[in-house]
């Protein structure tokens, strides 16, 4: 399998624009955008008049701007709320501003407006340009989804404007035939429990998970989507004109035999992409893993496979579905929040989130109490019947996440005890990752750090008070994407020589289609819900793969996978390193077999003694994962899928304590589809901290138009 130099213009530009610029910004020209610029106050403290401050702010602007007769480029001078100003600048002009004495920071302005399922926009997908347009929104591609079924008739599965499935399609509709259409072209059930209970309607989703993931991958455009009045806007999947083939394999559990049967059927039916948001609790050897086995065969048939990386992070080695032929997808947040702020009696405020935002909840301060005030740690988790020892009536109650108790159940206990509202604090491992729910009473879910400070305030005064300020939907988290706490981390235990997960995608608080109304409005057919997990990030990348397959129908699964991995960026909207749940930089983990065991995977007779073998690191993979005890050299073969007469020069960001040499350091392609090979030698050098076990870096090939990046992970023996 070749790694590919990715020369698909629109896809590269989409991802680079997404990370560099974020959402579309107002008051901009084609070459400039509006920045919020923070500066130090003037050295002369007597400059406190409006004109003096404005003059100070103007001194940061390049002289050519201030002397220009065009529309003023300084939009606002802030006099009270911050020391700084807003200005419309090009990137070159911003660089000039940054060099001035007194400059602190600058970022693109955030946009606050009502919008839902904004992950297509977050990923840089626009209706009129780029990959969406060039792929015709995934037209003609069939995405197979293995999950809990589907909700026919939901607006997300409308076939308005869609063409019939391609002639190769051989699948069938096993429910009421009128429920299928040009969007929902196949529905089949492989879950025996569902068949037994529901008969002909066995594929109808009674859990919601399958409906949510299917609409994330390929849901149609739906106007006025929202959840309890929040995140309102137009919902769509990543590949809205792709066809969907649904394979129900799960009820409360998902049996491996059902999964293999569904994979078998999907290959026969003619799907192009498989989206599998399922997995075991722990990684298994590939020969002992049904999904790995089934998807290896699918890959050989030219089917691209995307799988969830698992939800047992942030523990090292928690990644699942890590076979090299699978795109293993971790989870990040997006730049949208549904804000609910905990305000304390001492004036402190802590931003949190909540889907349920009652309009009639008063901002008046109420008594605040900690559920564990009686000294029993188990009561702090607000389990059923735990709030009996203290009078919580009319109070805001601080509860802790964990204890094996569902978050919604904690709110039910607070409500049962007469509490007026709940502040739910994360546990330590969840850090700043806030996966929100539809609670039964006014609630805000806050970080672990915020929870500790709220708890300290409670113990600091005899009469602690608090309230919750519900602020609705906000777009503009410049830190995004942040790796979530639950996202499965590497290294891959069955295959440490392959760096996993391959990529992260939006997986925290994702709005998508849902079978049931959340507010008992049973007349509504346009129902949506917000869910979190790598189950949500996986279909995002399934949709991206469908777009690429539609644009490049002859690309192999390996080519599509390499294109996705090598074009993804490693910086946030704020152009800083992507961070994890602790808001510290995330590492690349965030992001021999017997004959018979290999035969299980390959599906044919194998004699390892008669077959040449290579180390895992020698697989032609878009990343490097190296156990370094002595100098090691690896080779990679890349293919130019773009224009002829193009050249790439290598640059290296070497891991600490490692010398990296690349030969040759320049690749020249005289024609399209030409292959070239390069080698990389890793050698250990002195490291300041000899206790460090893992270090990371990357190498990238840079042309006049494109940057192709390969992550590097080094483990020291």
Contacts with 306 (C-beta within 8 Å, 6 or more apart), sequence order: 273, 274, 275, 276, 326, 327, 329, 538, 539, 541, 542, 545
Which among 72-86, 323-337, 338-352 has the top mean pLDDT?
338-352
pLDDT at residue 329, rounded to an integer: 95
Three-class SS state of 468 = strand
Query: Taking 80 as the threshold, does the pLDDT of residue 124 lie above it?
Result: no
User: What is the pLDDT of the chain when averaged over all its residues?
Assistant: 83
DSSP string for residues in 270-329: T-SEEEE----SS---GGG-HHHHHHHHHHHTT-EEEEE--S-TTSTT------TTSEEE
158-167, 235-244, 391-400, 515-524: range with lowest mean pLDDT: 515-524
- Residue owning tokens 């002369």: 44
Q: Return d(Cα 151, Cα 156) in angstroms, integer.
A: 9
* Predicted TM-score (pTM) of this structure: 0.74
Q: Cβ-count burial of 629 within 10 angstroms (0-12 exposed, 13-18 middle, 19+ buried)?
A: exposed
CATH number of 343-459: 3.50.30.30
pLDDT at 419: 96
Picking from 361, 390, 359, 385, the residue whose alpha carbon sits closest to that of residue 374 is 390
- 178-210 pLDDT, tens digit per residue, is 889 999 999 999 887 888 888 888 999 999 999
> Given a cut of 90, is residue 627 above it in pLDDT?
no
In the DSSP assignment, the letter for residue 41 is P
pLDDT digits (tens, 9 = 90+) for 670-708: 998 899 999 999 999 988 787 888 898 999 999 988 889
Q: For the sheet containing 304-308, what is the strand order?
A: 184-189, 243-248, 142-147, 273-276, 304-308, 327-332, 503-506
Enumerate residues 6+ apart whose C-beta is below 8 A from 242: 137, 138, 139, 140, 141, 142, 143, 217, 218, 273, 543, 546, 550
Contact 410, 385 (CB under 8 A): no
Q: Among the ranges 3-17, 306-320, 576-590, which has the highest mean pLDDT value?
A: 306-320
pLDDT of residue 237: 93
Helix (H) or strand (E) holding 20: helix 9-21
For residues 442-455, give the mean pLDDT: 96
CB-based contact 534:311 (threshold 8 Å): yes
At residue 657, the 3 state secondary structure works out as coil
Distance CA 642, CA 518 (A): 48
What residues are annotated to the active site?
147, 209, 535
For the chain, the first-to-last Cα distance in angstroms comes to: 29
Ordered strands of the 84-89 beta sheet: 74-78, 84-89, 33-39, 103-108
pLDDT at site 465: 97
Residue 363 phi/psi, 5-degree rounding, is -75, 5
Residue 134 is predicted with a pLDDT of 62
Residues 203, 225: contact at Cβ < 8 Å?
no
pLDDT at 12: 28
Proportion of the chain above pLDDT 90, given as a percent:
48
Q: What is the DSSP letter of 585?
A: B
Confidence band, pLDDT 50/70/90 cuts, at residue 15: very low
Total H helices, total E strands in the chain? 15, 31
Note the helical H segments in 334-406: none
Nearest to 395 by CA among 365, 375, 372: 365
What are the residue ranges spanned by the domains of the chain? 33-62+70-108, 118-334+482-567, 343-459, 604-716
pLDDT of residue 462: 94
Distance separating alpha carbons of residues 187 and 150, to the nearest angstrom: 8
Taking phi first (over 0 means left), then psi (-120 to 50 degrees means alpha), and beta for anything else, what does residue 280 get? beta
Q: Across residues 351-373, what is the average pLDDT?
A: 93
Angle subtended by helix axes 9-21 and 557-567, to nearest 10: 30
pLDDT band at 115 (very low <50, low <70, confident <90, very high): very low
| 345 close to 365: Cβ distance less than 8 angstroms | yes
CA–CA separation, 716 vs 684, rounded Å?
9
Residue corresponding to tokens 């297509």: 120
- Of 3.40.50.300, 3.10.580.10, 3.40.1190.20, 2.60.40.2310, the CATH number of 604-716 is 2.60.40.2310
130 or 275, higher pLDDT: 275
401 vs 436: CA distance, rounded Å: 12
Own/partner contacts of 392-395, CB < 8 Å, gap of 24 or more, are 392/417, 392/418, 392/419, 393/417, 393/418, 393/419, 394/366, 394/367, 394/418, 394/419, 394/420, 395/366, 395/367, 395/368, 395/369, 395/419, 395/420
d(CA 594, CA 74): 69
Cα distance between residue 358 and residue 356, in whole Å: 6
Adjacent-strand bridge partners of 308: 329
Confidence of residue 254 (pLDDT cuts 50, 70, 90): confident
Q: What's residue 3's pLDDT?
A: 36
Rounded to whole angstroms, the Cα distance separating 46 from 404 reads 59
For the chain, what is the radius of gyration of the CA atoms?
27
Band of the pLDDT at 7, cuts 50, 70, 90? very low
CATH, domain range 118-334+482-567: 3.40.50.200
CA distances for 135 relative to 119, 234, 382, 466, 655, angstroms: 18, 20, 50, 51, 37
Fill in the DSSP letter of residue 491.
-
Q: Which helix (H) or strand (E) holds 119?
A: helix 119-122
Phi-psi region of 61 (alpha: psi -120 to 50; beta: other; left: phi over 0): beta
Strand pairing category for 336-344 and 327-332: unpaired
Q: Hey, what CATH class is 33-62+70-108 in? A: alpha beta
Query: Which pLDDT score, from 0 to 100, does residue 120 have?
Result: 56
């Amino acid at each position: 399998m070749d790694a590919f130099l990715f020369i698909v213009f629109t896809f590269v530009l989409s991802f680079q624009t997404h990370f560099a610029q974020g959402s579309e910004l107002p008051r901009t020209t084609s070459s400039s955008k509006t920045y919020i610029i923070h500066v130090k106050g003037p050295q002369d403290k007597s400059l406190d008049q409006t004109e003096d401050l404005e003059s100070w702010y103007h001194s940061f602007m390049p002289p050519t701007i201030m002397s220009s007769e065009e529309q003023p480029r300084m939009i606002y001078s802030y006099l009270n709320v911050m020391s700084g100003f807003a200005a419309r600048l090009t990137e070159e002009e911003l660089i000039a501003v940054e060099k001035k004495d007194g400059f602190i920071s600058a970022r693109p302005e955030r946009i606050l407006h009502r919008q839902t399922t904004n992950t297509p926009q977050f990923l840089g997908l626009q209706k009129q340009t780029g990959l969406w347009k060039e792929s015709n929104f995934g037209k003609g591609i069939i995405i197979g989804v293995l999950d809990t079924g589907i909700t026919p008739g939901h607006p997300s599965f409308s076939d308005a404007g869609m063409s019939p499935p391609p002639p190769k399609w051989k699948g069938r509709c096993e429910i009421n035939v009128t429920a299928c259409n040009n969007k929902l072209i196949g529905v089949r059930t492989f879950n025996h429990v569902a068949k037994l209970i529901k008969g002909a309607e066995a594929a109808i989703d009674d859990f919601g998970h399958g409906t949510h993931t299917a609409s994330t991958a390929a849901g149609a455009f739906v106007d006025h989507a929202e959840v309890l009045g929040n995140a309102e806007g137009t919902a769509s999947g990543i590949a809205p004109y792709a066809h969907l083939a649904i394979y129900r394999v799960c009820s409360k559990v998902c049996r491996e035999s059902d999964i293999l049967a569904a994979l078998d059927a999907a290959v026969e039916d003619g799907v192009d992409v498989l989206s599998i948001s399922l997995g075991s609790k722990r990684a298994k050897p590939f020969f002992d893993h049904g999904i790995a086995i089934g998807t290896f065969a699918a890959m050989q048939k030219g089917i691209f496979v995307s799988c969830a990386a698992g939800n047992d992070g942030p523990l090292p080695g928690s990644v699942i579905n890590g076979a090299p032929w699978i795109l293993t997808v971790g989870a990040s947040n997006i730049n949208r929040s549904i804000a609910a702020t905990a305000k304390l009696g001492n004036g402190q405020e802590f931003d949190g989130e909540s889907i349920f935002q009652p309009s009639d909840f008063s901002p008046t301060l109420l008594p605040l109490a900690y559920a564990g005030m009686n000294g029993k740690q188990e009561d702090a988790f607000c389990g059923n019947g735990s709030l009996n020892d203290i009078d919580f009536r009319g109070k805001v109650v601080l509860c802790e996440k964990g204890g094996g108790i569902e978050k919604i159940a904690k709110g039910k206990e607070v409500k049962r005890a007469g509490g007026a509202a709940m502040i739910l604090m994360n546990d330590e491992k969840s850090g700043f990752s806030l996966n929100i729910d539809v609670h039964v009473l006014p609630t805000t879910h806050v970080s672990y750090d915020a929870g500790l400070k709220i708890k300290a305030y409670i113990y600091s005064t005899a009469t602690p008070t608090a309230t919750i300020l519900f602020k609705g939907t906000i777009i503009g988290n410049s830190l995004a994407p942040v790796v979530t706490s639950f996202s499965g981390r590497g290294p891959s235990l069955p295959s440490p020589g392959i760096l996993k997960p391959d990529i992260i995608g939006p997986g925290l608080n994702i709005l998508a289609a849902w079978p049931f109304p959340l507010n008992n409005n049973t007349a509504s057919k346009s129902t949506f819900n917000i869910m979190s997990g790598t189950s949500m990030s996986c279909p995002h990348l399934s949709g991206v793969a469908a777009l690429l397959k539609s644009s490049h129908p002859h690309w192999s699964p390996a080519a599509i996978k390499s294109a996705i991995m090598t074009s993804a960026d490693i910086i946030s909207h704020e152009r800083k390193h992507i961070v994890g749940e602790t808001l510290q930089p995330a590492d690349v983990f965030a992001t021999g077999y017997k004959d018979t065991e290999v035969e299980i995977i390959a599906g044919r007779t194998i004699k390892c003694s008669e077959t040449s073998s290579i180390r895992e690191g020698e697989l032609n993979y878009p990343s490097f994962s190296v156990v370094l005890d002595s100098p090691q050299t690896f080779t990679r073969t890349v293919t130019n899928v773009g224009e002829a007469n193009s050249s790439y020069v290598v640059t290296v960001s070497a891991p600490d304590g490692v010398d990296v040499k690349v030969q040759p350091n320049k690749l020249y392609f005289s024609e399209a589809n030409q292959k070239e090979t390069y080698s990389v030698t890793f050698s250990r050098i002195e490291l300041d901290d000899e206790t460090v076990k893992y270090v990371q870096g990357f190498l990238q090939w840079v042309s006049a138009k494109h940057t192709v990046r390969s992550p590097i992970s080094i483990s020291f023996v």
